[in-house]
Amino acid sequence: MKSIQGKVAVITGASQGIGRAIALELAREGASVALIARSKEKLMAVASEAEKLNAKAGVYPCDATDSGALRRTLDQVMADIGSIDILINNAGVGTFKPLEQMNATESEAPVALPFGAAVVACHHVIPGMLAKKQGHIINLTSPAGYFPFPYMVPYTAARFAITGLSYGLHEEFSRRGIGVTLLCPAQVDTGYFKQNDADMGWYPRLAQIFPVLQPEQVARQAVRCIKKNKREKIFPVLLWFAVKFYLKAPRFTFGFLRLFGLLRPVKEPPR
């Protein structure tokens, strides 16, 4: 998709952080943006910012874990703005702690968001993209979508599932006019640990090796991926190298990480 001008883009988790930044970057490129998240008030603020960029913005409060509500919301977007050209699956949750310390909700939540919501959204918008023989889907993941980190097992499993979803969609639809990108930044300064029950103390020390990115950096990469029809983008370069090395020699890599204590929590809280 060489030009984003005039396209209709749906962004989940658009009220803040990466979702907000991608929505505004798409607005700068001339797209109409449909903003989906739970908080209407926060979405209204993002919509106001997008409109200042001369973009059309729609606010669609929705709990993306409710598949029926998400499908109805996507239908409303199409009725209000038009058929969907770009889908950004960004919304996600996750709790970081030993599995035995999680309650049932904490252990099950990542199955519904990001993974379940992404499957529902893709299933709902792809027929329209096929009819036009064009479209682009971006699935956000994290390093946990490649490395099986401890102390975040449901989150890691969900991110692995997003990776598989994106790869599978690419193989099925890339020759039918739909671009699919798996977008994997290192840690991003979004306030995630303040807004979710995700204790940074359980995060692996390996994460401290990589620079902390800003949401705007991720947004710019997202737009580049759409325009260049990238299958996958892992950044920064150090993270790309680490992922590729791990995929070539997984047991050696994890042995090395354990040897130097890089899989241990940043600051292990009391059990």
What are the residues whose beta carbons fall under 8 Å from the beta carbon of 237, sequence distance 6 or more? none
Reading the block at residue 37, the tokens are 């998240």
Residue 36 bridge partners (DSSP): 12, 60
Please check whether residue 30 is in contact with residue 226, taking contact to mean a CB–CB distance below 8 angstroms: no
146 is catalytic: no
Query: Rounded distance, CA 64 to CA 113, Å?
Result: 7
List helix spans (H) across 174-249: 192-195, 215-228, 237-248
Distance CA(231)–CA(249), nearest Å, equals 22
List 60, 151, 155, 192, catalytic entry: 155
Which residue type is seen at 269? P
| All residues at 6 or more sequence positions from 266 whose CB lies less than 8 Å from its CB, including other chains | 200, 201, 202, 203, 204, 205, 207, 208
Calculate helix-pair angle for 17-28, 40-52, nearest 10 degrees: 30
Beta strands, E only, the chain: 8-12, 32-37, 57-61, 86-89, 135-140, 178-185, 232-235
Phi, psi of 266 (to 5 degrees): -55, -50
Residue numbers annotated as active site: 155
